[in-house]
Chains A and B, each alone.
Chain A
């Protein structure tokens, strides 16, 4: 069962990067970079979403794929920081 945070992150990416609400378009563990869904500017947009919409500040050293490169990684990172 996806958490509310996972659902929110996935909906953001589906709507803004893939222009769809079809959840089958993006698996929760799929790499956003490897699938070519985000480039470096796209990644900065995700960081802005995390900071502005989810209320968590991302420090420079936290801007790594391990924290940001899938729906589940983003959700896990944000819930650790909250």
Chain B
């Protein structure tokens, strides 16, 4: 834990952006040349803030000719995401291509397996329906559990607590999306002799908001030390298109609009950033409560939830574990 520094407030996350851009750029060049020994970087661009800033930093580090962008939509991606990704790639002037992974996901059973699990909760679920999963409990000091929300073709919203097996199956099926995307990223990286950029911000990396061997897999993660608030600030500072700078973070994985705070985090990202900062810098629940204008009990739950998710993330970060240490490797 770092030492406690000053009063906790939104300004705690302020940083020297030009210095940070220079530092990340220099690190990327060094990592590519000294450690990875690759000629460039592949970045999958989702249209969200993290992949946009990561791609822009890659271009700052090694130039637009050595960065290859991929747009990898599927049937539940918002059209606006692909359009923002397209806009970013053109703004950066990088080579890129769009590859729709929906047929691959269809063939591997992603949608069918997911829909089977949904139908065991809502038997009429099918064409014209939409779905999402919402997390509940942690904020009230309860065990985190999941609620399935569906919209019928008539626009009626229904929800039900997800039994564990159905929850696990829906998540397992949707994880195909991140894993198939990663397979495409490594196809292009291998073809070009490039390395793959992973785009988690600090909140996602620390709290395990990624799919193991999916978006969690990469050769280099240039913004994993930056809070999401700082990533937004960098996007504006680097002059990225306004649509990207002002986009709301979503999972872009479920067919109903799903905020990241509904699915995984206890609070919207700005407040989560401050809570994580508070945790990392030794601030108390009382200080966090004052900074966020919430009650102290609530702040205590948020800090506890961070601790629990961090413990869970250890599994996601872990490589395959050997039974015996090999001295020679």
Give A residues with C-beta under 8 Å from B: 33, 36, 39-41, 43-45, 47-48, 60-61, 63-65, 68
Contacts and interface: CB of A to CB of B under 8 A. Distances in A.
B312 interface: yes
Interface string B128-154: 000000001100011111000000000
A39 B165 CA distance: 16
B145 A44 contact: yes
B167 interface: yes
Could you tell me the dominant secondary structure of chain B's interface residues? mixed
B164 to A, nearest CB: 5
Nearest to A69: B143
Given A39-B308, A40-B308, A63 B164 contact: no
Given A44-B164, A60-B161, A65-B143, 9 more contacts: A39-B308, A40-B143, A40-B312, A48-B163, A48-B164, A60-B137, A60-B142, A60-B145, A63-B143
Contacts of A40: 143-144, 308, 312
A60 B312 contact: no
Nearest to B141: A64
Given A48-B164, A60-B161, A39 B142 contact: no
17 contacts: A33-B308, A40-B143, A40-B144, A40-B308, A40-B312, A41-B164, A44-B167, A48-B163, A48-B164, A60-B137, A63-B137, A63-B142, A63-B143, A63-B145, A64-B142, A64-B143, A65-B143
B108 interface: no
A39 B143 contact: no
Contacts of B312: 39-40
Given A60-B137, A60-B161, A44 B143 contact: yes
A60 B162 CA distance: 12
Contacts of B311: 36, 39
B220 to A, nearest CB: 28
A41 B316 CA distance: 14
